[in-house]
Amino acid sequence: MKNIVVLVSGGGTNLQALLDAEHRGEIPNGKITCVISSKADAYALTRAQENGVKTRVLVRKDYPDIAAYSAAMVKALREEQADLIIYAGFMTILDEQVVNAFPYQMMNVHPALIPSFCGKGYYGLRVHEEVLKRGVKVTGATVHFVTAECDGGPIILQKAVEVREGDTPEILQRRVMEEAEWKLLPKAAQLFCDGKISVVNERTILHE
């Protein structure tokens, strides 16, 4: 059984999707053992507690710099004996110490089709604002491994979502979550915990 640690900063709907999938038996070889939040008041913490999952809070401003914060995160993840670390709306930057400590063991869900609308400055609602500004007709979500390059790690799963006339950033965000993120993230966790993802030459191979 692999220990899954989920990193959050906000509402935690992706965490909820993971918890629901686990309860439905869809991640048979993984268990969410801890949720770590970068914000003390994140609603994701309530979701974890309601599901009997251990929570921890690591606030960036309690540390002098990103290196110290990242070192504290590595320590916490080691204490939790994390096998898989999932960024589910985790909005705080960590440095390469963390990536190096857990190579190809960390995954992130991004609310666009990478390599579009990704990288520094593209997070949360801002991604959908930029999608609408540019007028693309198709967007989506991506689950990828976390590497030192922001949103640049090997892609695990992607799903396209239609942009519709009259969409607001909020409406589009909700559609991308419902149709893509909440499905892709549990599926990626299941594949990882079943040992069905390998990385060759910076690309993933899925053994489904």
- 14, 70, 147, 204: residue in contact with ligand GAR (rule CB under 6 A): 14
Measuring CA to CA, which residue among 171, 11, 151, 175 is closest to residue 88?
11
Check binding of 124 to ligand GAR (CB under 6 A): yes
Catalytic residue, chosen from 23, 110, 128, 144, is: 110
With contact defined as beta carbons under 8 Å apart, do 33 and 77 qualify? Answer: no
For residue 110, indicate whether it is catalytic. yes
Single out the residue of 2, 7, 13, 74 in contact with ligand GAR (rule: CB under 6 A).
13
Q: For strand 138-145 and strand 54-57, is the pairing parallel, antiparallel, or unpaired? A: unpaired
- Is 159 a binding residue for ligand GAR by CB under 6 A? The answer is no
Nearer to ligand GAR, 133 or 207 (CB): 133
Closest to ligand GAR by CB, 13 or 204: 13
Q: Which one-letter amino acid corresponds to residue 43?
A: Y
Pick one of 99, 181, 184, 192: the residue that binds ligand GAR (CB under 6 A). Answer: 181
**Which amino acid, residue 156?**
I
> Hey, which residues between 56 and 115 contact ligand GAR (CB under 6 A)?
88-89, 109-111
Q: Give me Rg for the CA atoms of the chain.
A: 16
Distances in whole angstroms, Cα of residue 43 to Cα of each of 7, 8, 51, 100: 13, 9, 13, 29
**Cβ pair 55, 49 in contact under 8 A:** yes
Q: DSSP for 53-74, please give it.
A: -EEEE--GGGSSSHHHHHHHHH
Which position among 123, 167, 171, 179 is part of the footprint of ligand GAR (CB under 6 A)? 123
Q: Is 186 in the site for ligand GAR (CB under 6 A)?
A: no
Q: How far is the CB of 118 from ligand GAR (least distance, A)?
A: 7
Smallest distance from ligand GAR to CB 207, Å:
25
- Report which DSSP code applies to 138: E
Q: How big is the site for ligand GAR, counted in residues (CB under 6 A)?
A: 16
**How many CA atoms within 13 Å lie on the side-chain side of 204?**
23
Residues that bind ligand GAR (CB under 6 A): 10-14, 44, 88-89, 109-111, 123-124, 127, 177, 181
So which residues are the catalytic ones?
110
